Chains A and B, each alone.
Chain A
Amino acid sequence: MNAVSTYFSRHAQALVAAFGRIIRRPAGSLLTILVIAIALALPGILWLLVKNAQAAAGAVTSSLELSVYFKTDTAIERAEQLAAAARQRKDVARVTLVSAEQGLAEFREYSGFGAALDALEGNPLPHVLTVEPQPMAASPAGIDALRQHLETWPEVEVVQLDGEWVKRLAAILDLARQAVAVFAALLGLGVFVLVGNAIRVEIGARRAEIEVTKLVGGSNAFVRRPFLYTGLAFGLLGGVTALVLLLALTELLAAPVARLAALYGGGFILVGPTLLEALALIGGAAALGWFGAWVGAARLIAGIEPKS
C-alpha cells in the first residue's frame, strides 16, 4: 500500500513539477502551447463545419419521401395491406395511400384535363404509396435499404426517390469528413513532432542534471518521467486552448449563421463541440503530448551516461 501511494505521489509530484517548469518559462511555453492549440483547432474547426453541414443536410433529407407505384392491376385491398405492412417498419415515419381513384380525381381537379379524361375507357393511374422515412433512417444508406425492401414487393411497379442530389451531398460530406480526418492526422503528427522536439531541447538543457541523477542510481524511467509529464502538460494546455478557440469561434459565428438560416426560412442553429468531443480533443492532445515526449525522450535519455 505504501509502495503504491509512494508511486502515485511521485507521479503527482512529477505532474505538478511539469506545470511548474512550464510556468517558469512563460514566453517559450506560451508559444509552444499556442502552436499546439492552433494545430488542433484547425481540424477542429473543419470538423465543426462538416458536422453542422451534416446537420443541415439531415434536416433536408428528413423531408424526403419515397413514391411507391403499384402495378395497375393491383387491388386496392392489397395496396392497403401493403401500406399497413410498411407502417410496421421502424424506419418508416408515415405512409399515405393514394388510390387510383383519388389520384384520378386529384388529376382531374388540378390538371384542367377533365374533359379529356372522360374520354378514357378506364383509370390508367395506379395506386400510390407515399412513404416518409424516419429522420434517423434518412441517410442515403437507410433510404436505399428502404427502397430496396419496397421494390421486393411483387405488386410494385417502381419506387421513386426524387433526391439523387441528397446522395451527392452526402458523398461530398463523407469526403469532407475523411479529408478532415487526414488533415487532423497530419496536424496531430505535427503536434507529436513539436512536443518531441521541445522535450529534446529541454533534455539538452538539463543534460548535466540527468548525468548526476544517473550517477546516483536514477533509472531511465525515473529520468524520463518529468519529461513525459512536461509533454502531457503541453498537450493538455494546448488541447484546452484549442477548445477555447473552438467555443469562441462557435459563439462568434452563431448569430450570423442563424440570420443566414432565417433568410432561407430555416431555424438552423450552429452547434459547437459536444462534451464528449471536448473531452476527446483534450484527451487526444494530452496523449499526443505524452507520446511525443516519449519518442523525443526515450532514446536520447537512454544514450546519456555520466561522464565523471
Chain B
Amino acid sequence: MIRFDHVFKSYPNGREALHDVCVDIAAGEFVFLTGRSGAGKSSVLKLITLLTRPTRGTVMVNGQDTSELPSRAIPAFRRRLGIIFQDHQLLMDRPVYDNVALPLMVSDTRFRDIDKRVRAALDQVGLLGRERASPAELSIGEQQRIGIARAVVARPTVLIADEPTGNLDHGLAREVMQLFRRFQDVGVTVLVATHDMALVREFAQREILIDEGKVHVGRSLGGASQ
C-alpha cells in the first residue's frame, strides 16, 4: 500500500530531512509515525501526498511509483487519499457542508450522491445536523471532526493524519483515534503522525519512529512488526 524504498530527501537549504528510509505499510494497517518535531515525520507525509518528491529512492502509494507520476496526474492521485491536518485547513467562510463536500466536488461527483455522502460522513463524525453551521462557530474538536469528515467523504484507500490531536484534550484525542480505528475496520489504511506517546501506547498499533531523518525502529505494540 505504502512503500519507501531507500528514500532520501534533501531540501534546497541543504538540510537532509530523510536518510535512506525504508518503510512498508500494508493495506488496512493502522500505523503511528512518531518522532520529535523536525525528525522527518512531515517529510514522510509530504512524500506520500506528493507535496514534494524524493531526492533519491522510490515512494510507492496505492501501487503507484510517485516519482513517475506526471504533475497533471497528481490531483487524481490525491483524490484517493484522505488527509487530515493539525490546523484543520478548513474554509472558514464556507459552511460545514461545503467543506466536507469539497473532495466530491473536485471529482465531479453527482449532486445527489454528494448530498448522501456528505451526510453519511458527518454522521460518522457526529456532526449531522450542523451542515449549515460555519466552522468558526464550532469548537476546535468539532472543527477537527469536520476535517476528518472531509478526509473520509470520498472513501479514500489511505487516511493520513498529521498531528490530528495536537490541539485537542485527551478525551477528544481518544475520540478521534477511535474514529480512525473504525475506518481501519472497514479496510482503510491509516497513518497517523503524532508525538502523543500516551495515545500511541493506548491504541497499541505499529509505530514507526523517525529520528534525524532515519527510521530507528519499527516496533509493533499491537500489530505486525516491520
Contacts and interface: CB of A to CB of B under 8 A. Distances in A.
Contact of B106 (A2, A9, A222, A307): A222
Nearest to A7: B108
A218 B106 contact: yes
A2 to B, nearest CB: 6
A134 interface: no
Interface stretch (B23-31, B77-85, B169-177, B216-224): B77-85
Interface stretch (A31-39, A207-215, A230-238): A207-215
Contacts, number: 62
Contacts of A220: 75
Interface in A4-37: 6-7, 9-10
A216 interface: yes
Given A9-B111, A306-B51, A219 B162 contact: no
B89 A212 contact: yes
Chain A interface residue number, banded: 20 to 34
A139 to B, nearest CB: 54
Contacts of B109: 6
Given A217-B75, A217-B79, A209 B91 contact: yes
A308 interface: yes
Interface in A245-281: none
A3 interface: yes
A215 B107 contact: no
Given A6-B110, A218-B106, A219-B106, A308 B75 contact: no
Identify which of A209, A212, A216, A219 gathers the most chain B CB atoms within 10 Å of its CB: A216
Interface of B: 49, 51, 72, 75-79, 81, 83, 85, 89-91, 102-103, 105-111, 150, 154, 162
Given A217-B81, A217-B154, A308-B83, 9 more contacts: A7-B108, A215-B83, A216-B83, A216-B154, A217-B75, A217-B78, A222-B105, A308-B89, A308-B162
- 8 smallest A-B Cβ distances: which pairs? A217-B79, A219-B75, A218-B106, A217-B78, A216-B103, A217-B75, A212-B89, A217-B106
15 contacts: A6-B109, A9-B111, A208-B91, A215-B78, A216-B78, A216-B79, A217-B77, A217-B107, A219-B106, A222-B75, A222-B105, A222-B106, A307-B51, A308-B83, A308-B89
